[in-house]
Amino acid sequence: GRPALDGPELLRRFCIGDRALADDSGELWARCVDDRTRELIRIGALIAMSAPHVSLQMAIDDALSAGVADDEIIAVMDGLVSIVGLPRAVAAAPRIAFALGYSEDFLGDQE
């Protein structure tokens, strides 16, 4: 394989749109970010982009397997309100509740 890239070289390659990153990206991420943090970042990104339920469900399952607590997942959603706005967090909340195993009556009357 190719030699490991340091942060600045990787950033330079992103800046120039190096197409090889589509195949090789993620090595620095894997070396520098622990599993729990990686999964919390993934959940935050999925909330920010209004990802579909199945993507959020998979990310939450992986986070729970990595030892992330329910409260930490909910804290990510809470922390994103000031970044992505309350409507996006509110839109993600039922999908997160479902993925965490809360019953439908937990969601209340959605009318």
Is the separation of the CB atoms in 57 and 95 below 8 Å? yes
pLDDT confidence tier of residue 86, bands split at 50, 70 and 90: very high
pLDDT tens column, 16-60: 988 888 776 677 888 889 999 999 999 999 999 999 999 999 999
Mean pLDDT for 71-77 is 97
Is the separation of the CB atoms in 64 and 71 below 8 Å? no
Record the pTM: 0.80
Is the separation of the CB atoms in 64 and 96 below 8 Å? no
| 10/4 Cα distance (integer angstroms) | 9
